[in-house]
Amino acid sequence: MIIWGSKGKQKTLGQGIFFCPQCSTMRPYHRKKVSKYFTLYFIPLFETKNLGEYIECQWCLTTFRTEVLKYTQSLEQKHEQQLQIQKMIAEISEGLDAGASLQSVASIIKASGGNEEIASAAIYAVTQGKIKGCRKCGVAFKATLSYCSICGTPLTDQ
Protein backbone atom coordinates (compact mmCIF):
# COMPACT_ATOMS: atom_id res chain seq x y z
CA MET A 1 0.00 0.00 0.00
CA ILE A 2 1.37 3.42 -1.06
CA ILE A 3 0.53 6.43 1.12
CA TRP A 4 0.56 9.72 -0.79
CA GLY A 5 -1.00 13.15 -0.38
CA SER A 6 -0.21 16.80 -0.06
CA LYS A 7 1.02 19.12 2.65
CA GLY A 8 1.47 22.86 3.09
CA LYS A 9 5.00 24.04 3.77
CA GLN A 10 6.53 27.45 4.61
CA LYS A 11 9.90 28.66 3.42
CA THR A 12 11.72 31.85 4.51
CA LEU A 13 12.78 33.79 1.41
CA GLY A 14 14.48 36.74 3.08
CA GLN A 15 14.58 39.13 5.97
CA GLY A 16 15.11 42.77 6.75
CA ILE A 17 13.75 45.78 8.62
CA PHE A 18 10.33 47.31 7.92
CA PHE A 19 7.75 49.63 9.45
CA CYS A 20 5.34 47.31 11.28
CA PRO A 21 1.82 48.80 11.27
CA GLN A 22 0.93 46.75 14.35
CA CYS A 23 3.95 47.88 16.42
CA SER A 24 4.00 51.38 14.82
CA THR A 25 7.80 51.33 14.59
CA MET A 26 10.65 49.78 12.60
CA ARG A 27 10.98 46.04 13.27
CA PRO A 28 12.76 43.00 11.79
CA TYR A 29 10.72 40.84 9.40
CA HIS A 30 10.88 37.55 7.52
CA ARG A 31 9.45 37.21 4.02
CA LYS A 32 7.84 33.78 3.78
CA LYS A 33 6.44 31.67 0.96
CA VAL A 34 3.70 29.06 1.43
CA SER A 35 3.52 26.17 -1.03
CA LYS A 36 1.62 22.94 -1.40
CA TYR A 37 3.88 19.86 -1.70
CA PHE A 38 3.26 16.35 -2.97
CA THR A 39 4.06 13.87 -0.21
CA LEU A 40 4.94 10.22 -0.34
CA TYR A 41 4.89 8.42 3.00
CA PHE A 42 4.44 11.85 4.65
CA ILE A 43 7.70 13.14 3.13
CA PRO A 44 7.33 16.31 0.99
CA LEU A 45 8.95 15.60 -2.36
CA PHE A 46 8.16 18.50 -4.70
CA GLU A 47 6.12 21.67 -4.88
CA THR A 48 2.78 21.35 -6.64
CA LYS A 49 1.32 24.80 -6.08
CA ASN A 50 2.56 28.19 -4.89
CA LEU A 51 -0.03 29.48 -2.39
CA GLY A 52 1.54 32.93 -1.91
CA GLU A 53 3.94 35.06 0.08
CA TYR A 54 3.61 37.16 3.20
CA ILE A 55 5.64 39.28 5.61
CA GLU A 56 5.87 38.31 9.27
CA CYS A 57 6.97 40.80 11.94
CA GLN A 58 9.53 39.08 14.14
CA TRP A 59 8.52 41.18 17.14
CA CYS A 60 4.72 40.83 17.31
CA LEU A 61 4.46 37.86 14.84
CA THR A 62 1.66 39.61 12.93
CA THR A 63 1.52 38.75 9.22
CA PHE A 64 1.04 41.26 6.41
CA ARG A 65 0.74 41.32 2.64
CA THR A 66 4.03 41.93 0.83
CA GLU A 67 2.81 45.43 -0.16
CA VAL A 68 3.68 46.56 3.39
CA LEU A 69 7.32 46.78 2.23
CA LYS A 70 6.36 49.48 -0.31
CA TYR A 71 4.90 51.48 2.56
CA THR A 72 8.24 51.15 4.38
CA GLN A 73 10.13 52.52 1.35
CA SER A 74 7.71 55.43 1.20
CA LEU A 75 8.34 56.18 4.89
CA GLU A 76 12.11 56.02 4.35
CA GLN A 77 11.81 58.49 1.47
CA LYS A 78 9.69 60.83 3.61
CA HIS A 79 12.23 60.56 6.42
CA GLU A 80 15.04 61.41 4.00
CA GLN A 81 13.07 64.42 2.72
CA GLN A 82 12.46 65.60 6.29
CA LEU A 83 16.19 65.37 7.01
CA GLN A 84 16.94 67.42 3.89
CA ILE A 85 14.35 70.03 4.88
CA GLN A 86 15.79 70.25 8.40
CA LYS A 87 19.29 70.68 6.95
CA MET A 88 18.06 73.40 4.57
CA ILE A 89 16.28 75.25 7.40
CA ALA A 90 19.42 75.06 9.57
CA GLU A 91 21.50 76.51 6.71
CA ILE A 92 18.95 79.27 6.12
CA SER A 93 18.89 80.08 9.84
CA GLU A 94 22.70 80.31 9.94
CA GLY A 95 22.72 82.63 6.92
CA LEU A 96 20.03 84.90 8.37
CA ASP A 97 21.76 84.98 11.77
CA ALA A 98 24.99 85.97 10.01
CA GLY A 99 23.25 89.00 8.49
CA ALA A 100 21.97 87.78 5.12
CA SER A 101 18.80 89.49 3.92
CA LEU A 102 15.56 87.62 3.38
CA GLN A 103 15.68 88.59 -0.31
CA SER A 104 19.18 87.11 -0.79
CA VAL A 105 18.19 83.85 0.92
CA ALA A 106 15.03 83.64 -1.24
CA SER A 107 17.07 84.14 -4.41
CA ILE A 108 19.49 81.37 -3.35
CA ILE A 109 16.57 78.99 -2.76
CA LYS A 110 15.10 79.85 -6.18
CA ALA A 111 18.49 79.42 -7.87
CA SER A 112 18.79 75.93 -6.38
CA GLY A 113 15.47 74.82 -7.89
CA GLY A 114 12.86 76.08 -5.41
CA ASN A 115 10.01 78.40 -6.26
CA GLU A 116 8.58 81.50 -4.54
CA GLU A 117 6.24 79.40 -2.40
CA ILE A 118 9.03 77.12 -1.12
CA ALA A 119 11.29 80.11 -0.42
CA SER A 120 8.53 81.91 1.52
CA ALA A 121 7.67 78.79 3.53
CA ALA A 122 11.31 78.09 4.42
CA ILE A 123 11.97 81.70 5.45
CA TYR A 124 8.77 81.82 7.51
CA ALA A 125 9.78 78.54 9.23
CA VAL A 126 13.08 80.10 10.28
CA THR A 127 11.86 83.60 11.18
CA GLN A 128 8.41 82.56 12.46
CA GLY A 129 7.13 85.70 10.76
CA LYS A 130 9.25 88.02 12.89
CA ILE A 131 11.28 90.30 10.63
CA LYS A 132 12.86 93.75 10.70
CA GLY A 133 13.48 96.09 7.80
CA CYS A 134 16.00 98.76 6.86
CA ARG A 135 14.37 102.14 6.12
CA LYS A 136 17.35 103.24 4.04
CA CYS A 137 17.88 100.11 1.85
CA GLY A 138 14.38 98.65 1.96
CA VAL A 139 15.82 95.20 2.71
CA ALA A 140 14.27 92.75 5.23
CA PHE A 141 16.21 90.77 7.86
CA LYS A 142 15.58 88.29 10.65
CA ALA A 143 14.20 90.05 13.77
CA THR A 144 17.18 89.01 15.90
CA LEU A 145 19.41 91.51 14.05
CA SER A 146 19.65 95.13 15.17
CA TYR A 147 21.49 96.76 12.27
CA CYS A 148 21.38 96.45 8.50
CA SER A 149 24.33 94.37 7.28
CA ILE A 150 24.36 96.39 4.04
CA CYS A 151 24.36 100.01 5.24
CA GLY A 152 24.55 99.81 9.05
CA THR A 153 21.23 101.60 9.68
CA PRO A 154 19.24 100.47 12.77
CA LEU A 155 16.45 98.06 11.77
CA THR A 156 12.77 98.61 12.57
CA ASP A 157 10.04 96.01 13.21
CA GLN A 158 7.77 95.13 10.28
Express each pLDDT in 127-138 by its tens digit: 888 889 999 988
Of the two residues 8 and 89, the one the predictor is more confident about is 8
Whether this prediction's pTM lies above 0.75 is answered by no
88 has a pLDDT exceeding 70? yes
Give the whole-angstrom CA distance, residue 13 versus residue 53.
9
Domain ranges, ordered by start, for the chain: 4-65, 82-157
Q: Report in angstroms the alpha-carbon separations of 112 from 8, 107, 117, 125.
A: 57, 9, 14, 18
User: What is the pLDDT at residue 119?
Assistant: 79
